[in-house]
Amino acid sequence: MEPEVFVTLVKEMRGKLTITELCRLFGISRASYYRWIQRKDLGKLTALEESVRHLCFLHKFRYGYRKITALINQKYKVNKNTVQKIMQKYHWNCRVKMKKCSKVGQPYRVVENKLNRQFSSEAPLKKLVTDITYLPFGQKQLYLSSIMDLYNGEIVAYTIGEKQDTAFVLDTLNQLPETADCLLHSDQGSVYTSFDYQNKIKTKGITMSMSRKGTPSDNACIESFHASLKSETFYLDGLTNEPTSIVIETVKEYITYYNEDRIQQKLGYQSPIDYRKSAA
């Protein structure tokens, strides 16, 4: 990272992170930082560099150069290669590292894979996918059950809990409106094959679909969301042993960010909710 950028960052983060924490995060010695602040020749960023810097920090280095370019192009045109060079120069590259999710549950009674990897939908609440993921970042194990609408990738229901039983996924399912002619796809976890869950599915007029055994790619969209959630929060910020309240708040804030603000290339660089509203 360029000296002037790091010095500016420390000023902006004053009261939020200590100098020691920032130095450790960016691999910079405290001695270097104090030497830099004594210099009189720290250069200034150009207007474009400042725009790139602002967006990279605003989104916590979750975006690559394509998304940063798309955001800048909302105001004025700039070539993506130029943005890429700026991000490489100042080490503002995307810092997200995708992690694999663990599978939950054991097969008991399965239904046909009706979704069959047809991950696009032409209307809201017609094709939904659901899954459970671990949240091993606090002082006790937590789980996240979420349901995604394949129309725009929006998370339309979710539950955070300490036990991954049938009641846990029923709580998520009950957040859906009473809607008919809807397909809900899951893996073969025992919570999804249970009598209570399948009975509730029928009551709500929903058609079930399940991935083939040992084929997580049949449910790739929700798997990808859970991976992004962990990578862009807990892994990115090095959160490993947080209070339960912090873990829960982190997940809630990210889902709100994901639905309302996080742009996606497949949605024309719009957030899920913006895409749904613009298409309405």
105 vs 27, higher pLDDT: 27
In angstroms, what is the C-alpha Rg of the chain?
22
Specify the pTM: 0.71
- 16-58 pLDDT, tens digit each: 778 887 787 777 887 777 767 665 545 577 889 889 989 988 9
Q: Name the CATH topology of 127-279.
A: Nucleotidyltransferase; domain 5 (3.30.420)
> Confidence band (pLDDT; 50, 70, 90) for 101?
very low
Paired with 206 in beta bridges are 182
Give the pair of three-digit tokens for residue 29.
């010695």
DSSP output for 119-176: ---SSTTSEEEEEEEEETTBSS-EEEEEEEETTTTEEEEEEEES--SHHHHHHHHTTS
Spatial neighbors of 248 by CB under 8 A, at least 6 apart, are: 142, 160
Interior/surface letters 2-28, b for 16+ CB within 10 angstroms, e for the rest: bbbbbebbbeeeeeeeeeeebbeeeeb
- 240-250 pLDDT, tens digit each: 889 999 999 99
- What's residue 107's pLDDT? 41
- 143-176 pLDDT, tens digit each: 999 999 999 999 999 999 999 999 999 999 999 9
Residue 84's nearest CA partner among 76, 71, 93 is 93
Residue 131's nearest CA partner among 109, 99, 102 is 102
Q: Mean pLDDT, the chain, as a whole number?
A: 87
Q: Where does CATH 3.30.420.10 sit in the chain?
A: 127-279
Question: What string of H, E and C letters represents the secondary structure of 44-104?
Answer: CCCHHHHHHHHHHHHCCCCCCHHHHHHHHCCCCCCCHHHHHHHHHHCCCCCCCCCCCCCCC
> Confidence band (pLDDT; 50, 70, 90) for 196?
very high
Spatial neighbors of 129 by CB under 8 A, at least 6 apart, are: 115, 147, 148, 150, 184, 185, 186, 219, 221, 222
CA dihedral 24, 28, 34, 39 (to 10 degrees): -150
- What's residue 42's pLDDT? 54
Sign of CA dihedral 250, 256, 260, 265: positive
* Rounded Cα–Cα distance for residues 129 and 185 (Å): 5
Specify the pairing of strand 182-186 against strand 127-135. Answer: parallel
